[in-house]
Amino acid sequence: DLRIVQAGPLRARVEITRSFGDSRVVQGVALDAESTAVDFDLVVDWRERSRVLKVGFPLAVRAARATAEIQFGHIERPVAVNTSWDQARFETSGQRWLLLREPGYGVALANDSSYGHDVHPARTAPGASTVGVDAGLTLLRAPNAPDPAADLGSHTFAYSLTVGADVRAAHRAGIRLNL
């Protein structure tokens, strides 16, 4: 179900309602005039077992490294999987933002509450010429142990995708969502 909830000269917003399994998700997508960011909000009634809820973005950015905020700064990690250590890193921790950049251009994925993300070279169909990365945030889990009721219930999230970003813009996007 898709509905337009705001269509003014300065802001457009749609809401998408989805159900899967026993869960229900209402996702808002907003774009402000002259903004470089698309803002998302999510309200989830999570009732799943043995599942993970992620949000992902296929990005046409030739990023060799991903930069993520950590407790006292930021850290860079390779995007490509070249070693057994890289292969074991199916998800990494970060705080308010993740930055993927190529010379002269970058994309930041900021969030208000998800501290797990993954970045991989883009998965393309055979013969396709698309080059880039797939970036995602882990939002919810449904483990069977140690707490089988972990993450069950109602949750809200906010995240934002900012184009043309560098480290400073990524940091500002993370702060904007968290204040």
**What pLDDT is attached to residue 145?**
87
Q: Tell me the pLDDT tens digit for each residue of 51-98.
A: 999 999 999 999 999 999 998 889 898 888 888 887 777 788 889 999
Provide, rounded to the nearest whole percent, the portion of the chain with pLDDT above 70. Answer: 96
The distance between the two most distant Cα atoms of the chain, rounded to a whole number of Å, is 51
**What pLDDT is attached to residue 123?**
77
Q: What is the pTM of this model?
A: 0.89
**What pLDDT is attached to residue 65?**
92
In angstroms, the CA 5 to CA 27 distance is: 12
Q: Tell me the pLDDT tens digit for each residue of 21-39.
A: 999 999 999 999 999 999 9
Q: Which residues pair with 52 in a beta bridge?
A: 141
Q: Tell me the pLDDT tens digit for each residue of 8-21.
A: 999 999 999 999 99
**What pLDDT is attached to residue 137?**
94
Tell me if 136 sits within 8 A of 118, measured CB to CB.
yes
**What pLDDT is attached to residue 129?**
62
* Mean predicted confidence (pLDDT) in 170-179: 93
* Mean predicted confidence (pLDDT) in 113-118: 86
Q: Is the pLDDT of residue 115 over 90?
A: no
Q: Is the pLDDT of residue 136 over 70?
A: yes
The tokens for 2 are: 């898709």
Of 160, 144, 135, 124, give the one whose Cα is nearest residue 52.
144
Within 10 Å of residue 71's Cβ, how many Cβ atoms?
8
Within 10 Å of residue 123's Cβ, how many Cβ atoms?
10
Burial class (CB in 10 A: 0-12, 13-18, 19+), 117: buried
